[in-house]
Amino acid sequence: MTNILIWGVGGRLGRTVLSCIDASENTKASGGVDKFADPADFNIPIFKGVSDINVKPDVIIDFSRADAIYDMLPYAKENHIPVVLCTTGHTPIHLDYIREMSRDIAIFKASNMSLGVNLLIDLVKRATNVLGDKFDIELLEYHHNIKVDSPSGTAITIADAINKEMNNTLNYKHGRNDSNARRDKRELGIHAVRGGTVVGKHEVLFLGNDEIITIKHEASSKAVFAEGAIKAGIFLAGVKKNGMYDMADLLS
Ligand X SMILES: NC(=O)c1ccc[n+]([C@@H]2O[C@H](COP(=O)([O-])OP(=O)(O)OC[C@H]3O[C@@H](n4cnc5c(N)ncnc54)[C@H](O)[C@@H]3O)[C@@H](O)[C@H]2O)c1
Angle between helices 223-237 and 12-22 (to 10 degrees): 70
Q: Which is nearer to ligand X, 132 or 200 (CB)?
A: 200
Q: Is 4 in the site for ligand X (CB under 6 A)?
A: no
What's the N-to-C CA distance of the chain in angstroms?
22
Output the smallest distance, CB 44 to ligand X, in A: 14
Residue 90 appears among annotated catalytic residues = no
41 DSSP 8-state letter: G
* Overall size of the chain counted in residues: 252
- Of the candidates 133, 126, 174, the one whose C-alpha atom is nearest the C-alpha of residue 150 is 174
CA distance 136 to 189: 9
Output the smallest distance, CB 124 to ligand X, in A: 17
Q: Binding ligand X by CB under 6 A: which of 59, 68, 121, 234?
A: 68
Near ligand X in 215-234, by CB under 6 A:
225
- Residue 87 burial class via C-beta count within 10 angstroms: exposed 0-12, middle 13-18, buried 19 and up: buried
Q: Is 196 in the site for ligand X (CB under 6 A)?
A: no
Q: Binding ligand X by CB under 6 A: which of 4, 14, 139, 250?
A: 14
Between 131 and 170, how does the x/- string for binding to ligand X read (CB under 6 A)? ------------------x---------------------
* Residue type, position 70, single letter: Y
Integer Rg of the chain from CA: 19
Helix (H) or strand (E) holding 122: helix 115-131
Output the smallest distance, CB 177 to ligand X, in A: 24
Q: Is 88 in the site for ligand X (CB under 6 A)?
A: yes
| HSE-up (13 A, CA, CB side) for residue 52 | 12
Q: Which member of 90, 143, 191, 222 is catalytic?
A: 143
Q: Is 250 in the site for ligand X (CB under 6 A)?
A: no
Residue 147 appears among annotated catalytic residues = yes
Q: Is 120 in the site for ligand X (CB under 6 A)?
A: no
- Of the candidates 241, 244, 235, the one whose C-alpha atom is nearest the C-alpha of residue 59 is 235
**Residues forming the site for ligand X (CB under 6 A):** 7-8, 10-14, 33-37, 63-65, 68, 86-89, 110-113, 149, 225
Catalytic machinery residues: 143, 147
